[in-house]
């Protein structure tokens, strides 16, 4: 199972039979990874976290050290997850005539870069860097499909990229219409608390 991984993005130059097999593989693996995440989220059903008031809340049991750890985690994600890339991509596309925006090849390259940046956000984590080389390789091998998939879905939600019709159409070509519909459904079901999502991603990355 490779999730919404870089290697699973199909090429439009494949033969018809290979296209069908690739599209089916993407749909199955992407849906399996995201279904796992949605199931876990529903089971946990967490209460929204108001991060700006955690230390002031009488009901919060978070310590100063835990608060610093959470803040560093969020800062590391924001600094290394490629937000600048996404913002530049959207800005460049919006400068183009409407008919030329979010073409297949540009969106394909964007997905490839975005997934790579999401993974870098965890490779830069100081707790990850404190591990032995063997442990780092093992974690990357076992969690990359989940962190890159969920992290990319989170980024799509953050910037409302599926709200652009031409972007959505290109995503349908890159993956598959049914897989793209499923991704949109997951985006709509993501917890509204961004800090909570980043915390979940960190937990997945170290699981």
pLDDT digits (tens, 9 = 90+) for 40-56: 455 444 444 444 444 44
Q: Taking the model in full, what pTM does it have? A: 0.70
| 105 vs 25, more confident | 105
- Between these two residues, 60 and 192, which has the higher pLDDT value? 192
Q: Is the pLDDT of residue 172 over 70?
A: yes
Higher-scoring residue by pLDDT: 176, 61: 176
Whether the predicted pLDDT of 58 surpasses 60: no
Q: Give the pLDDT confidence score for residue 165 in this predicted structure.
A: 96
Write down the pLDDT at residue 158: 93
Instruction: Answer for the pair 151, 118: CB distance below 8 angstroms, yes or no.
Output: yes
Residue with the bigger pLDDT between 7 and 184: it is: 184
Res. 35: pLDDT tops 60: no
Dist. CA 74–CA 11, nearest whole Å: 34
Q: CA-CA distance, 157 to 188, in Å (whole number)?
A: 8
Model pLDDT, residue 177: 94
The overall longest dimension of the chain from CA atoms, in Å, is: 62
Q: What is the mean pLDDT of residues 136-142?
A: 89
> Residue 120 has what pLDDT?
87
SS3 assignment, position 67: helix
For the chain, domain boundaries: 12-43+64-205
Any residues with CB less than 8 A from the CB of 9 and at least 6 apart, and which?
A: 26, 108, 111, 112, 174, 175
pLDDT at 206: 85
* C-alpha neighbours within 13 Å on the C-beta side of residue 165: 3
pLDDT band at 30 (very low <50, low <70, confident <90, very high): low
SS3 content of the chain, % helix, strand, coil (to 5): 75, 0, 25
Give the pLDDT score at 185: 95
Angle between the 194-205 and 64-80 helix axes, to the nearest 10 degrees?
Answer: 90
Q: Which residues contact 8 (CB under 8 A, 6 or more apart)?
A: 2, 22, 25, 26, 29, 30
User: What is the Cα–Cα distance from 90 to 82, expressed in whole angstroms?
Assistant: 13
- Output 85 or 53, whichever has higher pLDDT: 85
Selection from 191, 179, 125, 205 nearest residue 10 by Cα: 179
């Amino acid at each position: 199972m490779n999730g919404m991984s870089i290697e699973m993005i199909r090429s439009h130059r494949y033969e018809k039979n290979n296209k069908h097999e690739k599209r089916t593989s993407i749909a199955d693996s992407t849906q399996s990874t995201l279904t796992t995440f949605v199931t876990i989220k529903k089971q946990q059903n967490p209460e929204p976290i108001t991060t700006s008031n955690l230390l002031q809340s009488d009901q919060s049991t978070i310590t100063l050290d835990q608060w610093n750890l959470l803040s560093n985690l969020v800062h590391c994600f924001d600094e290394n997850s490629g937000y600048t890339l996404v913002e530049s991509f959207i800005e460049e596309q919006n400068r183009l005539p409407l008919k030329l925006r979010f073409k297949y090849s540009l969106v394909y390259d964007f997905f490839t870069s975005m997934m790579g940046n999401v993974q870098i956000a965890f490779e830069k984590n100081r707790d990850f860097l404190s591990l032995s080389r063997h442990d780092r390789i093992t974690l990357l091998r076992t969690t990359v499909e989940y962190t890159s998939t969920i992290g990319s879905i989170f980024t799509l939600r953050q910037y409302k990229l599926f709200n652009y019709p031409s972007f959505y159409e290109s995503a349908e070509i890159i993956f598959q219409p049914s897989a793209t519909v499923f991704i949109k459904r997951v985006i709509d079901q993501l917890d509204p608390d961004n800090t909570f999502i980043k915390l979940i991603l960190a937990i997945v990355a170290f699981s």
